[in-house]
Homo-oligomer: A and B are copies of this chain.
Amino acid sequence: MFSKACEYGIRAAVYIALQSLEGRRVSVNEIAEEIDSPIAFTAKILQQLSRNNVIHSVKGPTGGFEIERTDMETVKLNLIVKAIDGDQIYVGCGLGLKECDADKPCPLHDKFVDIRTDLRHMLESTSLYELATGLEVGLTYLKR
């Protein structure tokens, strides 16, 4: 569904959000350790998220990554997915046809649109804050 990069990106962002709720700024090393992902690859992904203003980075000692409380509520998953995987999920025919739309639909068009619409709504309505608080309360888990 999502690329590996995107999976790591979402997990990282949720972890950063969780720690930011506690006022902690976290390093790539800690993030990669906590979400069980390859360090250097994770660093690249965090750069992308930082450039796209999904998370905030601070260089130097005591630096690291954080997300402001307000951003946590504003930033929905679709922003992260877009920053890493691009439009992939939203655009294009399910069967890979170049010319496929409501006018000249592929055999799977309608059924595919339904599912993708649901997915889009889910991503557009789910905030980092929501996911982070679920973790905080112990309702959900991130490790392994």
The stretch of A41-49, A64-72, A105-113 in contact with B is A105-113
Whether B94 contacts A107 by the Cβ 8 Å rule is no
Please tell me how many copies of the chain the complex holds.
2
Q: Which of B94, B98, B107, B114 contacts A134 (CB 8 A)?
A: B107
- Contact status of A141 and B106, CB under 8 A, knowing A111-B122, A119-B115: yes
A142: chain B residues at CB < 8 Å are 97, 106-107
Question: Is residue A58 contacting chain B, with contact meaning CB distance below 8 A?
Answer: no
Give the B-binding residues of A (Cβ under 8 A). 1-2, 4, 7-8, 10-11, 14, 36, 77, 89, 94-100, 104-109, 111-112, 114-116, 118-119, 122, 126, 131-132, 134-135, 139-144
